[in-house]
Structure 1
């Protein structure tokens, strides 16, 4: 028996293609010529088990994108923010007198070159701590029973 059936081996898309060869149903549902009869649908299959390595990786990505704080300032840590912080740190390294107005969730904050470099260093350590937590979970004897939601840096 096919996955979808109206009592025959006809697949509903085959019926659709022969009934509406131009691949479009009439706009008014009253004009739809859908055959009567019991349509059987296969029961939903259970979702496949996601490997523990993939679940831990997903949790690491979630932790890395959650952001961190530096001296009370909320710092976003998603991939694009990391790139921008790295670029600002490079500019601060090249020009020690640089002052930039960094946008945070609380608004713009003036940052001097040394502070920009400190923020970039802090974010780099935060990201590495996320990878370290992932590594520690994966190296456990039985990571399947590990609490993968705790122990992440913030």
Structure 2
């Protein structure tokens, strides 16, 4: 960038070079201060503008980590489960809603057979099977929330931004 410094007359303009730089920083724990620079002479008659960097407040780092954690829990919660017999059960919200309705019907009518559409086509389930599937899905979803809540406690217990980012939110999921 070239800055022209005005003198008394147009022909007296002095040409000075200004260079903007930013020191290295960890964007997980620090951020540039908008429009805040320290001026440093560059030794050649110019000025180096060095971007000021500030630590991100711990509360903001925690909030960002918890937001990432909630997104990961949602992804895990909706990823589905595999039953002991090898069948896959979807756990997205629509599937859970439909299963909950079927579960209530199965409790009310234990002798009824229930036609269901699975990934491989139609299946017929006993009320006992519907209840077992519903219980497995419920247990799985609860385990996802339990994992999230345990990790939230770890994030809240971390005393520095570096410690917050060190909490491993990617492993240990059901």
- Deviation per CA, 1:28-82: give whole Å up to 9, x if none: xxxxxxxxxxxxxxxxxxxxx8701110000000001100011211000011111
What residue number does 1:62 align with? Answer: 75
Is 1:106 equivalent to 2:106 in the alignment?
no
Structure 1 stretches of 4+ with a deviation exceeding 6 A read: none
Q: C-alpha root-mean-square deviation of aligned residues, in Å?
A: 1.7
Q: What TM-score do the two structures reach when normalised by structure 2?
A: 0.57
- For 2:119 and 2:170, the matched residues in 1 are separated by 25
For structure 1, the 5+ residue unaligned runs are 1-48
Bigger strand fraction: 2
Deviation of residue 124 (structure 1)?
0.3
Instruction: Output aligned runs, 1:2-21, within 5 Å.
Output: none
For structure 2, the 5+ residue unaligned runs are 1-60, 159-163
- For 2:78 and 2:127, the matched residues in 1 are separated by 24
Instruction: Output aligned runs, 1:32-43, within 5 Å.
Output: none
- For 1:148 and 1:58, the matched residues in 2 are separated by 11
Q: What TM-score do the two structures reach when normalised by structure 1?
A: 0.64
What residue number does 1:95 align with? Answer: 109
- Deviation per CA, 1:72-105: give whole Å up to 9, x if none: 1100001111111110010011111111122222
**Whose relative contact order is higher, 1 or 2, with alpha carbons under 8 Å and at least 6 apart?**
1
Is 1:81 equivalent to 2:95 in the alignment?
yes
Deviation of residue 130 (structure 1)?
0.3
